[in-house]
């Protein structure tokens, strides 16, 4: 299929977590999603702008969007980053109101109704696991198909907020590609976490597993991932570590796992 979209993943300017001292993290969720979109929709032109690493403020982001001229922008938010995601979408719409704005991540997954009410600049919210849904959504937008058939999406339909049914989770996490660090290769030397590994140690994030079976009342993660713990195989995790280290010189590798359950990867090769 010929794809015309030019999509821009945006890591917006953010406030830092002062408790953790001085650090610059890679935009892990965007790298994981971009890798999947790139593999499944090879005709699509994909770019990632990381405003932290490129030291872009809001004006800089606006200029970047103007020159990239994307047809869609995608951004990701924890609760603390909600306003920066909304502002990113607002800027995109100021540059060109035809740019389709898509957000996802933990905060928007839990608050789709409230978020679509509060932020008219957001067109689509991808709830929960993003890979399959975002590919389906991009294809459907490209083909001018029926958004009502895209599972896991919330959106405005003739002014009415609509929440399509949830999408089942991916059963085999080994089927996911490695995160698309090649799309931020220029920035790799900048990612670091001083308190954990020093100023000059290359910091990368990878996933071994998603979710958790416990249900701590203060935690959003178990609910976000359907109260299940799914893991990649031990071999896949080892291959991914080797790949990040050998290809990109990643030395401080931070596992994003909600629960490590190291001893319980019993179905995996050791
Ligand atoms: C690594 C990490 C960090 C790193 C930085 C990460 C980064 N990339 O910027 C550091 C250490 C700096 C950090 C800081 C903080 N963190 Co933190 N962090 C994590 C951790 C462990 C992994 C994040 C990750 O990469 N996950 C893997 C990705 C793939 O998962 P995901 O984001 O959910 O994405 C999937 C879907 O949600 C969806 N999706 C996500 N985004 C998008 C976007 C689009 C467009 C689409 C279509 C889909 C989509 O698709 C993805 C793939 O399926 C998570 C826990 C976790 N396991 O997620 C906590 C977590 C995100 N952090 C959390 C918190 C609270 C914080 C802080 C606020 C802590 C504090 N008290 O100050 C700060 C915020 C700093 C800031 N201003 O950004 C909470 C957020 C809870 C919430 N309700 O928002 C989490 C969930 C931990 C927890 N158990 O509660 N964090
Ligand atoms: S991820 Fe941690 S805090 Fe959240 S439910 Fe599981 S054990 Fe509890």
Beta-strand pair 100-104/72-76: parallel
151 lines ligand 2 (CB under 6 A): no
Q: Is the CB of 256 under 6 A from ligand 1?
A: yes
Confidence band, pLDDT 50/70/90 cuts, at residue 16: confident
pLDDT-derived band at 155 (thresholds 50, 70, 90) equals very high
In the structure, what pLDDT confidence band is assigned to residue 235 with cuts at 50, 70 and 90?
A: very high
The ligand placed nearest to the CA atom of residue 106 is: 1
The band of 261, judged by pLDDT with boundaries at 50, 70 and 90, is confident
For ligand 1, the distance from its centroid to the CA atom of residue 3, given in whole angstroms, is 30
Site to substitute for ligand 1 among 18, 29, 110, 244, most atoms within 8 A of C-beta: 29
Residue 69 is encoded by which pair of tokens? 């001229």
Residues forming beta bridges with residue 162, ordered by sequence position = 155
Protein residue with least CA distance to atom 54, ligand 1: 256
Closest atom, ligand 2, to C-alpha of 258: 1
Q: Does any ligand 2 atom lie closer than 6 A to the CB of residue 216?
A: yes
Q: Determine whether the shortest distance from the Cβ of 260 to ligand 2 is under 6 A.
A: no
pTM over 0.95: yes
Residue 1 has pLDDT above 70, yes or no: no
CB 190 within 8 A of CB 53: yes
58-114 residue pLDDT tens: 999 999 999 999 999 999 989 999 999 999 999 999 999 999 999 999 999 999 999
List pLDDT tens digits, range 44-60: 999 999 999 999 999 99
Confidence check: pLDDT of 270 > 50: no
Q: What is the pLDDT of residues 213-225, one digit of tens each?
A: 999 999 999 999 9
Nearest CA to ligand 1 atom 15: 17
Domain ranges of the chain: 6-163, 173-268
- Is any ligand 1 atom within 6 A of the Cβ of residue 207? yes
pLDDT (average), residues 24-50: 97
d(CA 92, CA 85): 11
Residues in the chain: 270
Task: Quote the ligand 1 centre to 78 CA distance (angstroms).
Answer: 6
Residue 215 to residue 238: CA distance in whole angstroms: 29
> Regarding the domain with residue range 6-163, which homologous superfamily does it belong to in the CATH classification?
Cobalamin-binding domain (3.40.50.280)
Per-residue confidence band for 175, with pLDDT thresholds at 50, 70 and 90: very high
Handedness of CA 29, 152, 12, 219 (dihedral sign): negative
Average pLDDT over all residues of the chain? 94
């Amino acid at each position: 299929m010929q794809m015309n979209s030019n999509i821009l993943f945006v890591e917006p300017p953010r406030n830092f977590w002062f408790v953790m001292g001085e650090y610059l993290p890679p935009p892990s969720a965007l790298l994981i999603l971009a890798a999947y979109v790139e593999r499944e929709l090879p005709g699509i032109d994909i770019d990632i702008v990381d405003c932290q690493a490129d030291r872009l403020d809001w004006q800089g982001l606006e200029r970047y969007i103007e020159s990239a001229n994307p047809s869609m922008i995608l951004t990701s938010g924890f609760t603390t980053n909600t306003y920066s995601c909304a502002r990113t979408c607002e800027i995109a719409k100021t540059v060109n109101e035809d740019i389709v704005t898509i957000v996802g991540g933990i905060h928007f997954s839990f608050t789709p109704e409230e978020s679509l009410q509060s932020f008219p600049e957001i067109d689509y919210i991808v709830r929960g696991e993003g890979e399959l849904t975002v590919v389906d959504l991009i294809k459907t937008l490209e083909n001018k198909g029926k958004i009502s058939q895209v599972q896991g999406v919330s959106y405005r339909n003739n002014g009415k907020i609509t929440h399509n049914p949830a999408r089942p989770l991916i059963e085999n996490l080994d089927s996911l590609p490695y995160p698309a660090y090649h799309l931020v290769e220029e920035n790799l030397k900048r990612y670091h976490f001083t308190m954990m590994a020093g100023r000059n140690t290359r910091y990368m994030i990878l996933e071994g597993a998603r979710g958790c079976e416990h249900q701590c009342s203060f935690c959003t993660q178990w609910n976000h991932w359907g109260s299940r713990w799914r893991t990649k195989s031990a071999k896949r995790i080892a291959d991914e570590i080797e790949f990040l280290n050998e290809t990109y010189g990643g030395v401080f590798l931070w596992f994003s796992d909600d629960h490590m359950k190291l001893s319980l990867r019993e179905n995996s090769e050791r």
